[in-house]
A and B are shown apart, each in its own frame.
Chain A
């Protein structure tokens, strides 16, 4: 049994946003346009947060890519009346769009602000729709959507491994954000495999969980940025 997790090394992350665009391309995330974006309805399953510290000239800016933390004790799951938001055997916080009735309780409960509601049917002006990934369902109005750890890639790799009668190796599955990252800051893999890169990084003394004190038990580990001076 796998237990999928992620490590983000903030000392390598440059804040470029390649992960954000890669996530849009992989997961059929629509753009909402300027008017809806101004109402806070832009959908970025993955965002790069920025934290300013200090005042000019002694000023510092830190980046942190934030996606669904795939908590082991996820606040979004027990509040869902239809079990649309649920925990898979492999530890993912999955969202079943067909079950979702749009109460948005899960988004209220999530402390990480990583759930996005479809206020409208998505629009891809033709032929932009030709780019859509056939492995990922397009969400319609009234549904909550979120980072899936690219579950379509996980499933495809598991099916392939089964067909080949081989076990999945570390690196056989990666998410779109991790694959695109020019600075190799994001690493995805199996936390049940102690030898995997993500397990090794998650044990780092620089490792922190986001809002750890909430007890949500996230499966994303942030390796804090180091600094001289």
Chain B
């Protein structure tokens, strides 16, 4: 008997004596023997990877010993465990560079959330009722295997579908491989704030089906079209680091930022010049700037494919004179000329497009226009310009996820029997994050069996028949291959930072386990026993560095990074020129006079982080609102409609209406109303359920014409005062001490 076993035995005999004598079993303090050894009070630092967005920031996790309530073999007790205490950016990691955003800081609360699913459950009540009963892992996995076997024996493997986020990772590869070898179609990527339009544009302009990285640190002039790159878009931490370099990091050579958008974002607040523009005309301004540069011969015109895509480029874009641009965009001709001259004179300069301008029906045109401007400025692939991080495509072995979720859902709705018999859902909540008019809820309910890997009951997992809760990111092997954020190639990876708190299992390991139990094995079978073996094999292929072999080093510093030589590509395929198309808006302009602009909230992004109390109580950067939904309205509009700060406002589109309190904000155009996405959950833990309103619900189900992604900025609405606010608007600023009840009018 070793020391550990001896202590275990004495601990058990000791506690069972106490057990017998105690009337309240819930008050008993059973001390289990810890299964790892940490010195009390001394912190260890372990790497991890942030799950909050696609940026893939490397983390440094502070791990210390703590008392944790645990259940072992049906007995409740207390155990000393090594647990995560705080997340920091990993100082060596090229994306986070030691920093972290508020969402990354709060991600630790995912692990310790009181409403986390602690074990597998199966549906007992009606779909959506949230009535589940616990099942064992054996039973749960058997249920999933049974469904897969039934499809395989009927030769109906094609009716298996898997919906997940669009994140490049080994985890995603495993899903792709599982589906391909089972005989099912590739996974379907679902993102509300999808950047597929920009990827498609970059493929056309530059031959890169990828999001760009911006070398802000060396840029002297930046013009951003709608992109909240310091707050919520692309790789915010890496971009904020680079922004610091641009502003104050290089002794006197301060770069200038111009932000073009119709509602002031957090990034817009930091701009030297904030230029409001008519929604959907950003591409026209980009070509207007190019017109001035070409006609004044400020820069010789390059003959690259990015410009050649644009109708009228070789003739100097005659259709985009400053006066014509003023007519379309609402920006004064003199300003167009001045901005163009500044862009040309203060090189390296670069243009960024992201967010709402891409979410118009003409999103692709807008993105291609900005790409052409970048090509003209000579910023593509140059220091201080737009870069594309080299990707590790040569090690790809799995079909990537494809877009087209809207088509997928409407395919289920229109068929008499659902073409999808078994649906697996991981890490997405499409019932919440799609317009109500697209009836994703009904589509889901037509699928005979739905399995979710969610850690929480939300609007989508509440409709599942079986939930197999994943470990939290701190409890499992995690990886990410960020497509942007660093000029070099990055593959983030980390082992578990702590042991699981609950009876959960990592989704990749569950898939590998399921694959082994299938009656008809995958063809060919997946060769890995566990997910970490799959990671080890892949990372071992990467070039070793001075610090040691690729896999060993990567595990210690939250990732592998370095320079890789990509296989030569032929450049973009010749494409037809793209003519300007005006943005189309859903809803008649007389009946629905306002553009409706939902935007990713600084705290919750697409709503997937609304369950974290730190983020609920984090004051919004622009409004200081906490625990609230709100509608941002220009003061003149508010005055005309007799709406005061905090009043309840009804916003109505052709597809539905919602009510939320008003924030009267000077940073928004009079014909635009904006609303943050994230609140308005029907069911998403005690902190988010029934709080505020969901702007996505009332959007028109219109798509960007070329890519079929949701054009979430293309809905028109009308608005009216619906009554006094009843304290729904909770602000931190201005009313915190002096007027504690100032919001109650």
Report A-chain residues with C-beta under 8 Å of the C-beta of B87.
25
**Cβ–Cβ < 8 Å partners of B68 in chain A:** 127, 130
CB contacts (< 8 Å) of B66 on chain A: these are 130, 132, 134
Q: Whole-angstrom distance between the alpha carbons of A16 and B269 in the complex?
A: 11
- Minimum C-beta distance from B676 to chain A (A): 14
Q: Interface size (B, Cβ < 8 Å)?
A: 86
Q: Which residues of B contact A229 (CB under 8 A)?
A: 256, 272-273
- A20 vs B267: C-alpha distance when bound (angstroms): 18
Interface flags, A36-69, vs B, CB<8A=1, else 0: 0111101010011110101111011111000000
- What residues on A are CB-neighbors of B740 within 8 Å? 39-40
CB atoms of B109 and A180 under 8 A apart: no
Residues of A with C-beta under 8 A to B686: 125
Chain B residues near A182 (CB, 8 Å)? 89, 96, 99-101, 236-237, 240-241
How many Å from the CB of A129 to the closest CB on chain B?
8
Contact B244 A44 (CB under 8 A): no
Distance, CA A61 to CA B268, complexed state (A): 8
Give A152-196 interface residues, CB cut-off 8 Å to B: 176, 179-185
Q: Are B248 and A34 in touch, CB under 8 angstroms?
A: no
- The interface bits of chain A over 81-94 (1 if a CB of B lies within 8 angstroms of the residue's CB, else 0) are 00000000000000
Write the chain A residue with the least CB distance to B62: A133
What are the residues of chain A within 8 A of B84 when measuring CB–CB?
A: 131
Distance in angstroms between the alpha carbons of A185 and B624 in the assembled complex = 20
Rounded to whole angstroms, the CA-CA distance of A49 and B733 in the bound complex is 7
A47 to B621, CA, bound (A): 10
Complex Cα gap A21–B254 (Å): 29
Binding stretch for chain B, among A7-15, A95-103, A141-149, A214-222: A7-15
The complex places the Cα of A157 from the Cα of B735 at a distance, in Å, of: 38
B615 within 8 A of A: yes
Contact of B269 among A21, A38, A61, A131 (CB under 8 A): A61
Would you give the shortest CB distance from B469 to chain A, in whole angstroms? 15
B274 at the interface (CB under 8 A from A): yes
> Which residues in chain B, 242-267, are within 8 Å of chain A measured between CB atoms?
243-244, 247-249, 254, 256, 264, 266-267
Q: How far is the CA of A133 from the CA of B88 in the complex (A)?
A: 14
**Bound: A182/B57 CA distance, A:** 11
User: Of A33, A49, A113, which one neighbours B737 at CB under 8 angstroms?
Assistant: A113
CB distance from A18 to the nearest CB of B (A): 5
* Residues of chain B contacted by A228 (CB below 8 angstroms): 256, 272-273
Nearest neighbor of B603 in chain A, beta-carbon distance: A17
Give the interface size class of chain A.
35 or more
For A11, what are the chain B residues with a Cβ–Cβ distance below 8 Å?
247-248, 254
A145–B596 alpha-carbon span in the complex (Å): 42
CB distance from A82 to the nearest CB of B (A): 22
Instruction: Check B736 against A113 for contact (C-beta < 8 Å).
Output: yes
Residue of A15, A21, A33, A130 most packed against chain B (CB within 10 A)? A21
Contact flag A25-B614 (CB < 8 Å), given A16-B102, A131-B85, A182-B237: yes
Given contacts A14-B267, A21-B618, A37-B617, contact A183 B240 (CB under 8 A): yes
Complex CA–CA separation, A34 to B726 (angstroms): 13
For the complex, is A22 an interface residue (Cβ under 8 Å from B)? Answer: yes
Query: Does B452 sit within 8 A of A, measured CB to CB?
Result: no
Which stretch of B124-132, B309-317, B350-358, B662-670 is in the interface? B662-670
Q: Which of B293-311 contact A (CB under 8 A)?
A: none
Additional pairs, 13, CB under 8 Å, beyond known A16-B621, A52-B667 = A16-B230, A18-B100, A33-B617, A38-B727, A42-B619, A56-B276, A62-B269, A63-B270, A113-B736, A180-B88, A180-B100, A228-B273, A229-B256
Binding site for A on B (CB under 8 A): 41, 64, 66, 68-69, 83-89, 96, 98-102, 104-106, 108-109, 112-114, 230-231, 236-237, 240-241, 243-244, 247-249, 254, 256, 264, 266-270, 272-276, 501, 602-603, 613-619, 621-622, 624, 626-628, 634-636, 666-670, 686, 691, 727, 730, 732-733, 735-737, 740-741, 743
9 contacting pairs across A/B (C-beta < 8 A): A20-B102, A31-B613, A34-B627, A50-B269, A59-B667, A179-B88, A182-B241, A184-B241, A228-B273
In the complex, the 10 A-B pairs of residues with the closest C-beta atoms, listed nearest first:
A182-B240, A182-B99, A61-B269, A34-B627, A21-B105, A40-B740, A21-B102, A125-B114, A14-B230, A183-B240
